[in-house]
Amino acid sequence: MMKTNEVLETIKARRSVRVYDKKQVPSEDLNAILEAATYAPSGMHYETWHFTAVRSAAKLEELNNRIKGAFAKSDDKRLQERGHSETYCCYYHAPSLVIVSNDPTQWWAGMDCACAIENMFLAARSLGIGSCWINQLGTTCDDPEVRAYLTSLGVPENHKVYGCVALGYQAEGVSLKEKTVKAGTITIVE
């Protein structure tokens, strides 16, 4: 029998949610999730990251449209298809999205953001809130139309976006994938 506790069970229960209902995450819960992000480790304890939480459906839709515009200009055929799709939504219509950015001058900036994102996932799960890692802004944040919009939302101008966290309640009737752990991924040397 494997050792367990509440934290370990939360880690094992976390899954990516890609279908959300429209109910907004309560402000108190969002604040707790954002606070959890700030407790993540950061290189040299610089904490140069920034967390921009967007809860406006209209602003999220505009952000998605700007991302689609950047995709439409891509040389990648798959991204072009997403850019021209009427139904594509990079954040799965979650009611809240946290944009995680950092000053890219330190080589560990992305790693700091990844630690903060994982803290948000676990905090959300512990509060009964679904989450999903959203990557699209990492590749489109330097597009001029996307960058201008990010700045208007409060993302610092000198920051690169390393990931986003979609937050919301899982839609009823939608099941999540079971986690299967790949064999041979752990080695213990004594």
| Segment 52-99, tens digit of pLDDT | 999 999 999 999 999 999 999 999 999 999 999 999 999 999 999 999
Average pLDDT, the chain: 97
DSSP annotation of 159: P
Q: Please write the tens of the pLDDT for every residue from 16-45.
A: 999 999 999 999 999 999 999 999 999 999
| Predicted TM-score of the model (pTM) | 0.96
SS3 content of the chain, % helix, strand, coil (to 5): 40, 15, 40
Q: What is the pLDDT of residues 107-148, one digit of tens each?
A: 999 999 999 999 999 999 999 999 999 999 999 999 999 999
Question: Whose CA is closest to 169, among 139, 118, 127?
Answer: 127
